[in-house]
A and B are shown apart, each in its own frame.
Chain A
Amino acid sequence: MSVDARLRVERPGFALDLDLHIEAGQVVALLGPNGAGKTTTLRTLAGLNALSSGRIAIDDAVVEDTSTGRRIPTERRGIGLLFQDYLLFPHLSALDNVAFGLRCQGRSKAEARTAAAAWLERVGLSEHAAARPAALSGGQAQRVALARALAPSPRLLLLDEPLAALDAHTRLDIRTRLRHHLADFTGATLLVTHDPLDAMILADRLIVIEHGQLVQAGTPGEIARHPRTEYIARLVGLNLYRGTATDHRVRLTQGADITTVDSHQGPVFVAFRPTAVALYRTRPDGTPRNQWPVTVAGIERRGDHVRIDLTGPLPIAADITPAALAELDLAPGTEVWATVKATETSTYPA
């Protein structure tokens, strides 16, 4: 039960060009900014959008191939799709929503309902079997929608932002539940999300796309440590620069130099955490060997720390404590010195 796809979709002003392989039992997260082509990828795999060119095989069965003109419609692809806003049928009870796919497989009403009841029990909603979707909370509706997608035993499960419509508290609970259900699922799973945390917790492998193109693929750990685009770096909370290394010195594309702990030659990425940045009102003397005069561009409270956006020889995000903010008396426009120790940097080939 694996999925192999070569997707080319062309629309005015947008082109998707992505090769995708998902093993049985594997959860792959498709991560990317808005408009990157995540939902298009999902709908194309489901057969709700047509390929411009390419081929999709689910379980060695070719469901779409533009070179032969083969195109199996959505309802015969053996897929399950969990929509972002669930799309539970409003005129059917939770039980009948889950039974819908089983009925379409030709099972009798009684049989489908029995199986659907078992699914509702698995997602912990037996007591809501008779409820209409309008009477369910967001989290309950999500669980019914997941049961509905899984009940017909799809070979490929597609999840479109499955947690995006939930509030923060429910999200935590549902994410954990979803993780359990995905672990039990034997087919291939493709999860579309713009939330790196969802992706890292739920997926075995991440695929990051921007403007319809693959920009990075790997395990969550690899991607978090070594982001290759500014979008990913921002997602995982890193300052990321490109440059050319000569031993421990890197000349960044912005023109500034940075001293790194690793030694490299040629094109590299340099990354460091916002917490690794120290700010001073006057030019500091002493150990940190990377220091730049910068200007405060923005100040934003984030949980227990404060994110300072700095402009200057290179754009830097710095995280400091509220106490430090008060002590430094920072405001937009304030000129300060930013320093980063070489040991706080991470360098890897571009």
Chain B
Amino acid sequence: MPGRTPSLRPRTGRAEGPRRGPSPTATRRVPLALLLPALLGVVFLTLPLIGLLVRTPWSDLTAQLRGTQVLQALRLSLITASLATALSLVLGVPLAWLLARARFPGRRLLRALITVPLVLPPVVGGVALLLALGRRGILGQYLDSWFGITLPFTTAGVVLAEAFVAMPFLVLSVEGALRAADPRFEDAAATLGASGWTTFRRVTLPLIAPGVAAGAVLAWARALGEFGATITFAGNFPGTTQTMPLAVYLALQDDPQAAIVLSLILLAVSITVLAALRERWMTTA
């Protein structure tokens, strides 16, 4: 399946059984040809993080944190990532429902289209957003001339750029949860007199809540780390569009210490998210 997120298996209401999956037998020997690359992989993935921790200027950490630039960027990042997640939820959950439950021609094509932002280089996404929503964009010119709304290089633009990149994660996660949920619960709701909307609100949504939450966390984490689409579509203005990743990149040019501190904060946030995910929704098999 294109774009599935196999590491995530939302536990729906009834899937509280014992964890499945093969457990390696203790007696089996690990072939050296697998063990060596695996260990190298571990080093490769963890060494940079260790480097970050080792080089962190722990002594003047608090002083660095107090810098207005840092707090400003952090605040902006948290707000825009949350707004992008909210936007993804509002648009993405119904979209996932459509993909999982409705039967219409071109459904596969639609799913493929929706997953494009997953594989698209974010910078390209930013350019595409400019062409669509920029002041001369196909939709943006009307927004500008009719309503006086300009999106590029604004905080709203940041939210849009982040949502563009993050929403596919949510859609795929929720769609997976919907496919795993027994659609006959929806039949049961209908026989009890529930309309389609009531069924969705009172039966389907609670059943897939873990999948929705997992998708939202993933989308939020993706939005928080978004760089390419943001800088292309929204620019890099401190206070309005300069998010944490942009601040890190800039700080690296003239104040490496600050860059390390900013990176450390992002790392801490990511690990918190990962821990929350593992605790509740990730299979640890």
Contact = CB atoms under 8 A, between A and B. Distances in A.
B13 A101 contact: no
B202 A46 contact: no
Contact of A76 (B13, B193, B209): B193
Contacts of A81: 187-188, 191
Interface size class, chain B? 20 to 34
Given A75-B195, A90-B207, A83 B188 contact: yes
B148 interface: no
B190 A89 contact: no
B108 interface: no
B192 interface: yes
A79 B190 CA distance: 10
Contacts of A76: 193
Nearest to B202: A100
B185 interface: yes
Nearest to B188: A87
Interface in A58-109: 73-76, 79-81, 83, 87, 89-91, 100-101, 104-105
B14 A148 contact: no
Given A134-B14, A134-B16, A91 B206 contact: yes
B191 A105 contact: no
Interface string B8-46: 000001101000000000000000000000000000000
A80 B191 CA distance: 6
A81 B184 CA distance: 12
Contacts, number: 66
A74 B13 CA distance: 24
B184 A74 contact: no
Most A CB contacts (10 A, CB to CB) among B184, B187, B189, B191 go to B191
B191 A79 contact: yes
A183 interface: no
Contact of A100 (B13, B182, B192, B209): B192
Nearest to B194: A104
A282 to B, nearest CB: 59
Interface string B251-279: 00000000000000000000000000000
A149 interface: yes
B194 A90 contact: no
Interface string B187-219: 111111111001000110011010000000000
Contacts of A48: 187, 190-191
Contact of A90 (B14, B189, B192): B14
If over half of A's interface residues share one DSSP class (helix, strand or loop), that class is named, otherwise mixed; here it is mixed
Nearest to A79: B191
Given A74-B191, A76-B193, A104 B184 contact: no
Nearest to A158: B191
Contacts of B189: 75, 89, 100
A104 B198 contact: yes
A101 B185 contact: no
A152 B13 contact: no
Given A90-B207, A91-B206, A91-B207, A101 B193 contact: yes
Interface size class, chain A? 20 to 34
A152 B191 CA distance: 10
B192 to A, nearest CB: 4
Contacts of A152: 192-193
A158 B192 CA distance: 12
Given A83-B188, A87-B188, A91-B206, A104 B14 contact: no
B16 A101 contact: no
Nearest to A74: B190
A46 B191 contact: yes
Contact of B185 (A47, A79, A87, A104): A87
Given A83-B184, A100-B202, A104-B198, A91 B191 contact: no
A152 B182 CA distance: 23
Contacts of A89: 185, 188-189, 203, 206-207
Interface in A104-160: 104-105, 134, 148-149, 152, 158
Contacts of A74: 187, 190-191
Contacts of A90: 13-14, 207
Interface in B152-211: 182, 184-185, 187-195, 198, 202-203, 206-207, 209
Nearest to B185: A87
Nearest to B13: A90
A80 B190 CA distance: 10
B190 A75 contact: yes
A144 B194 CA distance: 18
Nearest to A91: B206
12 contacts: A48-B191, A80-B192, A81-B187, A81-B191, A87-B188, A90-B207, A100-B189, A104-B193, A104-B194, A104-B195, A152-B192, A158-B191
Interface of A: 46-48, 73-76, 79-81, 83, 87, 89-91, 100-101, 104-105, 134, 148-149, 152, 158
Interface of B: 13-14, 16, 182, 184-185, 187-195, 198, 202-203, 206-207, 209
Q: Give me the 9 closest cross-chain CB pairs, A-B, nearest first.
A: A90-B13, A101-B192, A104-B193, A74-B190, A81-B191, A87-B188, A91-B206, A104-B194, A75-B190
Given A89-B189, A134-B16, 15 more contacts: A46-B191, A48-B187, A48-B191, A73-B190, A74-B187, A75-B194, A87-B184, A87-B188, A89-B185, A89-B188, A91-B207, A104-B192, A104-B198, A105-B193, A134-B14
